[in-house]
Amino acid sequence: MTSAPPTTQSLVQFETRHIMPIPENERTGTVRSLFAIWVGINMLPLTVVTGAIATGAFGLSIGWSIVAILTGNLIGAFGAALHASQGPHLGVPQMLQARAQFGFYGGSLLAFVALLMFLGFFASILVVAKDSLLAVFPDLPPAAVIIVFAVVGIAIAVYGYDLLRKAMAFLSVIIAVVVVVAMVMLWFQPSVTQANPEAGFTISGFFGMLAIGVVWQLAYAPYVSDYSRYLPKDTGPKQAFWATYLGLVLSSVFVMILGVLLGAADPANPLGAMGALLGVFGTMGLLIFAFSAAMINAAELYSGVMCALTTVNSTFAKIIVTTRTRVITTLVCGAIATMGALAGESDFVTMFQNFVTILLYVLIPWSAINLADYFIVRKGDYAVAELFQRDGGRYGRWNAVGLSTYAVGILVQIPFMVTPMYTGPLAEPLGFVDIAWILGFIVSGAVYLLLTRMFPTAEPVGAREPVATAASAERR
Domain 24-358 fold is: Hydantoin permease (1.10.4160)
- Whether 305 and 326 have beta carbons less than 8 Å apart is answered as yes
CA angle, corner 87, sides to 82 and 92, nearest 5?
Answer: 135
CA angle, corner 225, sides to 382 and 130, nearest 5?
Answer: 155
Q: What is the pTM of this model?
A: 0.83
State the DSSP H helix or E strand holding residue 254, giving kind and residue range, or none if neither.
Answer: helix 237-265
CB-based contacts of 7, cutoff 8 Å, min separation 6: none
Q: How far is CA 232 from the centre of its chain?
A: 23
DSSP labels, 108-176: HHHHHHHHHHHHHHHHHHHHHHHHHHHTT-TTS-HHHHHHHHHHHHHHHHHH-HHHHHHHHHHHHHHHH
What pLDDT shows up at residue 467?
A: 42
> How deeply is 414 buried, as exposed, middle or buried, from its count of CB atoms within 10 A (0-12, 13-18, 19+)?
middle
State the DSSP H helix or E strand holding residue 359, giving kind and residue range, or none if neither.
Answer: helix 348-372
pLDDT tens digits, residue range 38-94?
A: 888 888 888 888 999 998 878 888 899 999 999 999 998 998 999 999 989 988 888
Report how far residue 105's alpha carbon sits from residue 313's, in angstroms, rounded to the nearest whole number.
Answer: 9
| pLDDT interval class at 419 (50, 70, 90) | confident
pLDDT tens digits, residue range 145-190?
A: 999 999 999 999 998 878 887 887 788 788 888 888 988 888 888 7
Q: How far is CA 270 from the centre of its chain?
A: 23
Report how far residue 21's alpha carbon sits from residue 299's, in angstroms, rounded to the nearest whole number.
Answer: 19
What pLDDT shows up at residue 289?
A: 84
- Whether 416 and 439 have beta carbons less than 8 Å apart is answered as yes
Q: Residue 199 in 3-state DSSP? A: coil
Average pLDDT rounded to a whole number, residues 11-17: 76
> How deeply is 346 buried, as exposed, middle or buried, from its count of CB atoms within 10 A (0-12, 13-18, 19+)?
exposed
Report how far residue 73's alpha carbon sits from residue 174's, in angstroms, rounded to the nearest whole number.
Answer: 23
Report how far residue 354's alpha carbon sits from residue 360's, in angstroms, rounded to the nearest whole number.
Answer: 10
pLDDT tens digits, residue range 287-344?
A: 888 888 888 888 889 888 999 999 888 888 788 888 899 999 999 999 999 998 888 6
What pLDDT shows up at residue 4?
A: 42
The phi, psi pair for 84, rounded to 5°, reads -60, -30
Q: How far is CA 462 from the centre of its chain?
A: 32
Query: Residue 60 pairs with which residues in a beta bridge?
Result: 200
Per domain, the residue ranges of the chain are 24-358
